[in-house]
A and B are shown apart, each in its own frame.
Chain A
Amino acid sequence: METLYTVLIDPFVQMVEVPDFFLQVLWEGLVSGVLYSLIALGFVLIFKSSRIFNFAQGIMVVFAALSLVGLHSFLVPYVGNEFVAAAIAMPLTLGIMYALAMGVERMVLRPLVGQPDIILFMATIGITMFLIGFGEFVFGGENKVMITEALGIPTGAIEFEPFGGFLLMEEKDVFAVVMAIILVISLLVFLNKSAMGRAIRALGDDHTAALSVGISLSTIWVLVWFIAGVIALATGIVWGARAGVSFALEVIAYKALPVLMLGGLESVSGAIIGGIAIGLLEKVFEIYWGQPLFGGNTETWFAFIFALIVLLFRPQGLFGEKIIERV
């Protein structure tokens, strides 16, 4: 009886009684949800255009953030000014991500065209291992601090007092959410309005048909991997500002996987909505159910189990394309 009470009634009583804390929890969940969405978006773009389940998205986040921080600390002694150094390091990092996209396309994807999905998936894990080794080799394995101030990201906090309570929003979280929204909107505009964006979607719809109307596969793949790299950089900056830049960041890639299950592997809107939903739910579950009942740290598996349950009812995810099977 007491267990039932803690499971079914107590959490909701708390939510209503301490609404400001509930709002705080929701806000935290929203921020991490937005970041999950961003990573999932990188996955979806690559999956849509090339049917590759790109496991390397997580390490690309780390690698982009490391490059930025590494270049910045390398440049500061030469330039003398933090802000100028950041202004130079930023385009250089984008250049590195472009070079990475080119390299992946040339050396990994092109020789593997037409192989089964699982082989390509394994190849991206190979890329992950290579980037881990390369990143540690070049930048060292120790934790680094994201150059938040040099990039002009605000670091203060905003306080609200809803319902006579207390709600704290860190400005860099607000920045993260705003930046994610801008990024997503510009991406959607790019995909829907520009010729290149349409080519990407055409490739996602039908490979052969897209090729036959003259869309260049290799150009699009480089472009898609580059966009994924830009998204990775954005994610790396905002997540690095929250938790520091280290290889532990790679685990957030795993967080994006249930988002993909939930939203569907091909759906851009699914990635966004799924990410926010999972971010919110896992935070709420951890605070109100996980800690009192299971001893906490449920965030590692909650999203997976939740997505699994949803998938049992909709095997292609909430927004995925209907799976039609023929013999």
Chain B
Amino acid sequence: MFYRTSGQFKTSYESDQALFPIKQDMVLLVVILATMYVIFPMFASEFTYKALLVPVLIYSLASLGLNILTGYAGQLSLGTAGFMGVGAYACYKITTIFPEMNIVIALFLSGFFSAAVGVAFGLPSLRIKGFYLAIATLASQFFLVWLFEKWAWLYNYNASGAIEVRTMDIFGLVVTGPNASPMVQYYFVLGIVSVVTFAMINLTRGRYGRTWKAVRDMDIAAELVGINLMRAKLSAFAVSSYIVGIAGALMVFFWKGAAEPNLFDIPMSFQIVFIAIIGGLGSVMGNFLGAILIVALPVVLNLLPEILGISIGSATMEHVNVMVVGSLIIMFLIVEPHGLARFWALIREKLIIWPFPH
């Protein structure tokens, strides 16, 4: 009923390949964007911004980056957090070296540093495949975190060894540092995530996306039909690390406010891999669904006993929380290994033909 497609005819290839083949998809997206941009800020408290909205957006972005590499180009990476760290430290250095620079420009510049590092660590992918490559990406993870600790120049020789974000503004509006309002930060992150997501949807639909998918499905076959494997794989590493780097910079500058090297340690890498897989590999929307589940679920679980009026020690709660998240992940993998995006695709298919079964 809501998704009836009758009467929507495609008369040209262009309209067949359009971003929204069905009008209702566009309506849905407009509704979602309106909710994000207008409705949420009307009701959200500071806690909601800091614990739910901003983290979900940032993790979605990081997962989107990983999904480009793993879901589209088929190269499993376990070093995402390390590349996020590169982005964050690069942004930190850029803003200290050029204090006058607009933070937006600094953000997009810092992505290039993580992209370069990503390409360097992506080079082995030309020789190594599958799990061997996954372990090889762990090399970047451990090496980078070690570097963040040992290379004092990166954190301006601070005694604490951590980077702290100073107050910065855009045209008089404070966006980072302790004085920034959470709503402004939320809008900032939302804007950047929207722009990058839009760019990625179109990139993955286009020439590069198709090349990556061909490599993912069978790289030898892709090579035989004339795809340059080196260029395809390294471009996937570059684009992926670029986005991941921006996500890392956003995380430190617009959410955490400060970062120690161990923030970018391996648990975060795994968390992002989880988001990408639970959300659905090879899907842009899946990242957002996965992030909502993985990031928001623990927060909600933590609040649950309070709402139900049960008093449990916070340490016990923490442990039960980890247990529940672990078993939920296994459950989701069993129920729908292709992720939440596939779930939505099935629902959408059913809606289109509703009320008929076939």
Contact = CB atoms under 8 A, between A and B. Distances in A.
Interface of A: 53, 107-108, 111-112, 115-119, 121-123, 125-134, 136-137, 141, 254, 257-258, 260-261, 265, 294-295, 297-298, 300-301, 304-305, 307-308, 311-312, 315-317, 323, 325-327
A300 B176 CA distance: 33
Given A130-B330, A315-B129, A122 B136 contact: no
A193 to B, nearest CB: 30
Nearest to B147: A301
A323 B131 CA distance: 13
Given A125-B274, A130-B327, A325-B220, A305 B143 contact: yes
Nearest to A314: B127
B128 interface: yes
Contacts of A115: 333, 337
B131 A117 contact: yes
Interface in B254-310: 266, 270, 273-274, 277, 281
A107 B334 CA distance: 9
B333 A122 contact: yes
A327 B220 CA distance: 6
A130 B320 CA distance: 9
Contact of B319 (A136, A295, A325): A136
A286 B34 CA distance: 56
12 contacts: A119-B277, A121-B131, A123-B333, A127-B330, A133-B324, A134-B319, A258-B139, A261-B136, A265-B131, A298-B146, A315-B132, A316-B132
B226 interface: no
Given A129-B326, A132-B326, 19 more contacts: A53-B131, A115-B333, A117-B131, A119-B337, A123-B330, A126-B327, A131-B326, A133-B320, A133-B324, A133-B326, A134-B319, A134-B323, A137-B319, A141-B319, A265-B132, A294-B150, A297-B146, A304-B135, A311-B132
Interface in B305-347: 315-316, 318-327, 329-330, 333-334, 337
Contacts of B146: 297-298, 300-301
B142 interface: yes
B130 interface: yes
Secondary structure at the A interface, as helix, strand, loop or mixed, is helix
B104 interface: no
A121 B270 CA distance: 11
Contacts of B124: 308, 311-312
Interface of B: 70, 76, 124, 127-132, 134-136, 138-139, 142-143, 145-146, 149-150, 218, 220-221, 224, 266, 270, 273-274, 277, 281, 315-316, 318-327, 329-330, 333-334, 337
Do most interface residues of chain B lie in helix, strand or loop, or is the interface mixed? helix
A112 B333 contact: yes
Nearest to A259: B135
Contacts of A316: 132
B135 A261 contact: yes
Nearest to A114: B337
A112 B333 CA distance: 8
Contacts of B218: 327
B146 to A, nearest CB: 5
B319 A133 contact: yes
A316 B136 CA distance: 12
A9 B127 CA distance: 33
Contact of B143 (A131, A137, A301): A301
A308 B126 CA distance: 12
A125 B323 contact: no
Nearest to A305: B139
A300 B140 CA distance: 11
Given A122-B277, A133-B323, A311 B136 contact: yes
A137 B316 contact: yes
Given A118-B76, A327-B220, A132 B322 contact: yes
